[in-house]
Amino acid sequence: MFYIYGGIWQGRAQKRSPAGTAQTGSVSFAPAVQTSRNTVDLRGMRVGEASNKLEMAIDGCRPYQVLFVVHGMGTGAVKECALDVLRSHPRVVRMEDESPLNYGCTVAYIE
């Protein structure tokens, strides 16, 4: 446990197990925490534009990174396009479909 006293860290460090890490085979990913750097927002785009932006986002990812694909809840055309791109892209190891906790967003694990 650390304490801050006068801007100086004091105390002992406790070791933590990497709880919440997602594992796929021998590949281990960090916990899925959404930030502006690992999120691509496709809402309001046409299918072709969304496809190109998602391809560029995947190509720009570091290895073993989590990518949040925000596709929204409209007609479903952008969502289907995004899922097709994620299914066919060779760097995508797996993906988690939207759930009540992340409705309108698909989480992709990039290798």
In this predicted structure, which of 19-33, 66-80, 92-106 has the lowest mean pLDDT? 19-33
| Helices and strands in the chain, H and E counts | 2, 8
Q: What share of the chain is helix, strand, coil (3-state, %, to 5)?
A: 25, 30, 45
79 — pLDDT class (breaks 50, 70, 90): very high
Note whether 95 and 106 are within 8 A (CB).
yes
CA distances from 91 to 25, 82, 111 (A): 15, 14, 5
Question: What is 39-110's CATH number, 3.40.50.150, 3.30.1370.110, 3.40.50.1100, 3.30.460.80?
Answer: 3.30.1370.110
CA 47, CA 53: separation in Å to the nearest integer?
A: 10
What's the mean pLDDT in 26-42? 81
Residue 30: pLDDT over 70: no
| Farthest-apart Cα atoms in the chain, separation | 55
CA 13, CA 9: separation in Å to the nearest integer?
A: 10
- Domains of the chain, by residue range, sit at 39-110
pLDDT tens per residue, range 83-103: 999 999 999 999 988 777 778
Pairing mode, if any, of strands 2-5 and 8-11? antiparallel
Token reading at 13:
């460090």
Residue 41: pLDDT over 70: yes
